[in-house]
Every structure is written in structure tokens, then in C-alpha cells.
Amino acid sequence: MTSIRFPQLGLAPAPLFEEMEAARRNDVDWRRGRVALYVHYAGDDVLDVAKEAYQRFFSENGLGLKAFPSLRKFEDEIIAWTADLLDAGLDATGVVTSGGTESIFLAMKTARDWARAERPQAKEPEVVVPVSAHPAFDKAAHYLCMKVRRVPVGADFRADVPAMAAAIAPNTVMLVGSAPSFPYGVIDGIPALGALARERGLWLHVDACVGGFLSPFVRRLGYAIPPYDFSVEGVRSMSADLHKYGFTAKGASVLLLASRSLRSYLTFEFDNWPRGKYSVATFAGSRPGGAIAAAWAVMRYLGIEGYMRLAKSIMEARDRLVRGIAEIPGLYIIGTPDLSVIGVGGTGLDIFAVGEQMERRGWFVSTMSDPPGIHLGMLTLAHVAHLDEYLRHLAASAGEVRAQNLKANSHEASYGG
Ligand SMILES: *Cc1c(COP(=O)(O)O)cnc(C)c1O
């Protein structure tokens, strides 16, 4: 810790904001498509709607839905609309959370408490997931005193369902599939997982954090999207992030449960203190009204038509990128991505060195470890105008690495931080 003291005197807005703008001087320029992660841009019109709605409900608190019927309406409609998109029946229920991590945490908590009632023989509850599942499952397991078994994926990078079946133990309570997985961008075989879950009496969670608000529209455009939602029997819960391809402000995701009867396992209730009964479905207590309001506003502003228009741009960009990369000697697309999450591997060259050459050219590069690759996690409208430049730089970088047999300074892949 440096010896920075809390300032005695306040600072006027003008110099204060000047200091903040100066602080962001070295931030990655996402508007110029320099980063394919963290920011989901759908155009300034969408951004303006989200900001306006966030500001109007800046002070309101989602902990107090009785005080703010507006937020209750927004949350109810967000959940109903999401249930409609993901083919959940009328009996479905859900909650707006702060993000994918919280949605996954709550799905695991709900499954754990359901298992305590329905599968009491599972004393130390375990979850079987493909190795490609998000770290949020292990993070939640850590907090919830559960255990995660990670099972290698198949040659197509999708969940190896027979191997997952073999990993089921007496303590197993839950199976997980991703739609799609973040490392490989492929949708796991949800129908096979659903059949397995039903046969073994297990909870199946589908993690559609990245694809939940993209797949429904990509499918409507005519792309082949395998079954992944509540239309598959056996799916009991799904996570879908509004702050990714829902294009709203960060701090918004949806957890859906297949049936209202499961809701009691989600909600936390407490009455042993002097202030009265506390009953909340989320991990968070106070919740930003702005995040809920902005999510509602963007969904209402875009409608299915608006999301389809955005999905079309994104998938066309994906197709251009895939075609362009296929033409660069030494590079290949890892697996067959179902949506817009793409890994780029190298043959006969050090792909991490290509990444470092791209960083030298001003791109913020994410990498993956298995197989080694450059990871393009979240293509959005910020990238469309810069695709040709990206491909030109990528070809030049790969060319340099090949010609000079360059090796990377670091072969460590990391996510976040
Ligand atoms: C982003 C993501 C998460 C975690 O979501 P956060 O909003 O970052 O907490 C979980 N699963 C998948 C597949 C994701 O892409």
C-alpha cells in the first residue's frame, strides 16, 4: 500500500473530471475495436438509451421492490421476455443478478439446496462440468462448500457426454453445459446432457452467459444453432448475461429456473435479528436500480428486430474474420465456433509471438492455453469498421513471426485481472 491519504479538501467537478480523463489516457481504445473482450458495443443509439435509463433510475434500489414498483415491473418483464426467448414455459421464474458469476453462483446454490431436499444421500454435493466451463463454477463451489469435477472435452471441443456420465458419483447433484463455452465458442450437446440428467435424476444448468442474448437471434437469421435452451427436457436453470450480448450496462444478468416450485431453494430467508424478516433471491442486498432500468430500456428499445439486426452485423463480421484468417498462412480457427467467440491457433509458428506482434501494433490481445491461441471473445459493433485493419495487421504479424521464427516472451494465457 502506498501512503496515499484521503484528501482533506474536496475538488470542484471541472478539475476532478480532468483528472479522471487523464487517468484513462492509457485505457484500451475499445471504440476503435482494439479489444475483443470486456465491452459490448451496439451503436451510440443503444448506448444513449442505456445511459439515459441508468441515469433516471440511478438512485433507486432493487432491494426495495415494494418501494419501487417501477423496478419490479422492469425486472418482471426482463425475466418474462428472457423466458420467452429461451423457451421456458409459463411456470418459469427468475431473477436479475449483477452478472454471470452471480447467476451461476445462484444456480449452484439453488441446485445444492434442492439436492439437500431431494437427494439427501449426496452429502458433499458435486458438480460435473466440461473443462471448458467458466471458472465461476469453481468460484461458486468454493463459497458453497461444493466440489467441481472438470471433464475433458471431445475432439470437437464440445462436452464429452459419455465421459461426463462416467464422472457422475454418488455425491453428484448437478451437470453443466455451456451454450456456448467461452474458450471454444461451441455449444455443448445439451439434448444429450438433458437425457443424462433425467436418467440420473440430476440438475442440468445451461450456461448461456455469453450466448443467451445472441443465439435466439442468430437462429432466427437462419444460422444452424443446436438445441440449447428450456425446449430441451431436463434443463432446470439457465444463466444469460444482459451485459454481454444484451448490450446493456454492466451489472445485469438473468438466472432462470424452469419451475416456480424451485424458487424456495433460491431465496435466502432470515428473521433472527431486531429488524424483521429479510428475504432476497440475489446474493447482493442493495441492487443498482440503474442496471435493471437500463436492461429493460435496451430490450424494449431494440425488440427482436433490433437484436436481429445487431446479430446479423456480428455474424457477418464473424464470417469475414473466419474467411480472412483462413487465408493467412500458419493460422487456423480452433474448432467450429457456433457464434462469435473465436480462437485462432497456429501451425508451424508461435501463436503467442503473433499476439505480441499484434500488441506492438496497438491491439489488446487475449490468449488461450489449450490449444495455444489468440482469443477473440466478444465481437461486437466496435469491431466491424476495423476488421480489415485487424486482418491486415494479423497477416503482417504472422508473416513476421514465420519469416524470423520469432518466439514469444511469455506463453502464459490469462483472463481478467
Ligand atoms: C462471461 C461469462 C461468465 C461470467 O460472467 P460475468 O458477467 O463476467 O460474471 C460465465 N460464463 C460464461 C460462458 C461467460 O462467457
- In order of 33, 366, 379, the CA distances from 398 in angstroms are 20, 16, 21
Cα–Cα distance for residue pair 359/376, rounded to 1 Å: 14
C-alpha dihedral over 328, 331, 335, 337, to 10 degrees? -50
Q: In this structure, are residues 372 and 411 in contact, taking their beta carbons and an 8 Å threshold?
A: yes
**Chain centre distance of CA 31:** 20
Cα–Cα distance for residue pair 276/300, rounded to 1 Å: 36
Cα–Cα distance for residue pair 246/298, rounded to 1 Å: 8
Residue with cell 443446436: 226
Q: Which residues line ligand 1 (CB under 6 A)?
A: 99-101, 104, 134, 136, 178, 182, 207, 209-210, 241, 253
Q: In this structure, are residues 129 and 176 in contact, taking their beta carbons and an 8 Å threshold?
A: yes
C-alpha of residue 399 to centroid of ligand 1, in Å: 34
Q: Whose CA is nearest to atom 12 of ligand 1?
A: 209
List strands edge to edge, sheet with 253-257.
93-97, 253-257, 235-240, 203-207, 172-178, 126-130, 147-151
For the stretch 342-357, what's the b/e string if a residue is b when 16 or more beta carbons lie within 10 angstroms of its beta carbon? bbbbbeebbbbbbbbb
Residue 126 pairs with which residues in a beta bridge?
A: 147, 172
C-alpha of residue 103 to centroid of ligand 1, in Å: 9
E strand or H helix that includes residue 344: strand 342-346
Which ligand 1 atom is at minimum distance from the Cα of 181? 13
C-alpha of residue 100 to centroid of ligand 1, in Å: 4
Inter-residue long-range contacts of 116-123, CB under 8 Å, 24+ positions, other chains counted: 117/265, 118/201, 119/173, 119/201, 121/170, 122/170, 122/171, 122/172, 122/173, 123/171
Cα–Cα distance for residue pair 373/331, rounded to 1 Å: 9
- Among residues 171, 225, 227, 228, the alpha carbon closest in space to that of 200 is found at 171
Q: Which of the listed residues 103, 186, 188, 209 should we mutate to test ligand 1's pocket, taking the one with most ligand atoms within 8 A of CB?
A: 209
Cβ-based neighbours of 244, under 8 Å, separated by 6 or more: 40, 100, 209, 210, 213, 378
Cα–Cα distance for residue pair 380/282, rounded to 1 Å: 29
C-alpha of residue 134 to centroid of ligand 1, in Å: 7
Q: Whose CA is nearest to atom 3 of ligand 1?
A: 100
Q: What is the mean pLDDT of each run of 10 residues along the chain (417 residues)?
A: 91 98 96 93 97 98 97 98 97 98 98 96 96 98 98 98 98 98 98 98 98 98 98 98 98 98 97 96 97 98 98 97 97 97 97 98 96 94 94 98 96 88
Confidence (pLDDT) at 403: 97
Main-chain phi, psi angles of 293, to 5 degrees? -65, -40
Coil, helix or strand at residue 345: strand
C-alpha of residue 346 to centroid of ligand 1, in Å: 26
Confidence (pLDDT) at 394: 98
Which ligand 1 atom is at minimum distance from the Cα of 253? 7
Which ligand 1 atom is at minimum distance from the Cα of 243? 7
Q: In this structure, are residues 112 and 173 in contact, taking their beta carbons and an 8 Å threshold?
A: yes
- Written as nine digits, the cell of 124 is 458433499
C-alpha of residue 323 to centroid of ligand 1, in Å: 27
C-alpha of residue 181 to centroid of ligand 1, in Å: 10
Q: Whose CA is nearest to atom 4 of ligand 1?
A: 100
Which ligand 1 atom is at minimum distance from the Cα of 180? 13
- Written as nine digits, the cell of 298 is 435496451
Q: Which of the listed residues 129, 134, 341 should we mutate to test ligand 1's pocket, taking the one with most ligand atoms within 8 A of CB?
A: 134
- Written as nine digits, the cell of 411 is 506463453
- Among residues 361, 213, 61, 110, the alpha carbon closest in space to that of 374 is found at 361
For the stretch 93-120, what's the b/e string if a residue is b when 16 or more beta carbons lie within 10 angstroms of its beta carbon? bbbbbbbbbbbbbbbbbbbbbbbeeebe
C-alpha of residue 72 to centroid of ligand 1, in Å: 25
Cα–Cα distance for residue pair 352/345, rounded to 1 Å: 9
Confidence (pLDDT) at 377: 87
